[in-house]
Amino acid sequence: MKLPRPALAGTAGLFLLSLAAGCSDAPPPYDDATAAWRDFDGEKAMRHVETIVALGPRPPGSETLEKSRVLIEEHLRPLGWQVRRQTFTGKTPQGPMEFTNLRARFAPQDSDALWKESTRVLFCSHYDTKLYRDLVFVGANDPGSSMGALMEAARVLAARPALARHIELIFFDGEEAFGPNITPADGLYGSREYGRKILRPLPPEKKPRWGVLLDMVGDRDLRVTLPNDTPPDLMRLTLESADALGHRDKFGVSRMSIIDDHVPLNVEGVPTVDIIDFEYAYWHTPSDTIDKLSAESLGIVGQTALHLIERRLVRE
């Protein structure tokens, strides 16, 4: 569509033009030599996982989960991320329970307006561990690994403000079910609340365009199993990014769909890929400990996710 030529002249016109430039939403062009993924350090991500695991079990409502919130906030804020808590009460099989999602935006200052602006990409992990009363479950891979990867990605992105401001980081509470398995009424408490309260009210043009979820990404024997119902575009782009970085042999497609925090985001119209390695022998056992993980695996997933986000998702 051709627009009529604006009847502006002189300084007023220039002023309006410069305002428009200041509000430009265009992300910076991708430059492979200085791309974010190159700075993602699997060792640094691993240090975060160690600190998190040392807190012990971190089920919803626990003091140790509050400590992990503070840990995340104290890492993000000095880097320039604004962090807000989305706290709510969920109905669980064990009665009402308080949950808190952590949302982070890259901006010079916090304001209510900031949180009403849309971002292009959601980059997420859950941060609660599954509750066991009869055993000690520290969740090094589930969810320590993806928390550590997201915290390291926050450092890398903070050095690239023009990119970072297009991304919202989210740490979901209450991913794990209180019963043995996630059901429509139990589990995904944080992502369902985020979907209902944050995404659903947004008109389609204001919704984030994509989401990337990380879960169980630190297994030494890394074999990513993308759920088979991943939105097709995202499936292709994720595999292309893995290929571009020489990690294609670590990425496969599961024969199953997987129920995880990406499901409520997909339901609310934000196509989201779950980068998960579900072939993990220690899943939901007391043996999900730090010795099962490697910095190399964290590096492979962190770099691939950043390549995907910067190279493809922020610009499309």
Q: Which is nearer to Zn ion, 88 or 137 (CB)?
A: 137
288 binds Zn ion (CB under 5 A): no
Residue 263 and residue 270: Cα distance in Å, rounded? 10
Q: Which is nearer to Zn ion, 79 or 131 (CB)?
A: 131
Q: Which is nearer to Zn ion, 142 or 261 (CB)?
A: 142
**Which region, judged by CB under 5 A, interacts with Zn ion, from 134-142, 230-238, 239-247, 250-258?**
134-142
Query: Which tokens in the block code for residue 167?
Result: 């991304």
Instruction: Find all residues with CB under 8 Å of 197, minimum gap 6, and list them.
Output: 86, 88
Maximum Cα–Cα distance for the chain, whole Å? 75
Q: Which is nearer to Zn ion, 119 or 125 (CB)?
A: 125
**Which region, judged by CB under 5 A, interacts with Zn ion, from 55-63, 137-145, 156-164, 187-195?**
137-145
As a whole number of Å, the end-to-end CA separation of the chain is: 21
3-state helix, strand, coil in the chain (%, to 5): 45, 20, 40
**Which region, judged by CB under 5 A, interacts with Zn ion, from 53-61, 141-149, 220-228, 301-309?**
141-149
Residue 218 and residue 149: Cα distance in Å, rounded? 9
From the CB of 45, what's the least distance to Zn ion, in Å? 19
From the CB of 176, what's the least distance to Zn ion, in Å? 5
Residue 118 and residue 57: Cα distance in Å, rounded? 34
219 binds Zn ion (CB under 5 A): no
**Which region, judged by CB under 5 A, interacts with Zn ion, from 36-44, 98-106, 136-144, 234-242?**
136-144
Query: Which tokens in the block code for residue 181?
Result: 């398995």
Question: 194 near 86, Cβ under 8 Å?
Answer: yes
**Phi and psi, residue 56, nearest 5°:** 90, -165
From the CB of 28, what's the least distance to Zn ion, in Å? 36
From the CB of 237, what's the least distance to Zn ion, in Å? 26
142 binds Zn ion (CB under 5 A): yes
CB atoms within 10 A of CB 1: 2
Rounded to the nearest 10 degrees, the angle between the axes of helix 42-53 and helix 295-307 is: 120
Q: Which is nearer to Zn ion, 142 or 152 (CB)?
A: 142
From the CB of 287, what's the least distance to Zn ion, in Å? 14
Closest residue to Zn ion using C-beta atoms:
142
Which positions lie near Zn ion, rule CB under 5 A? 142
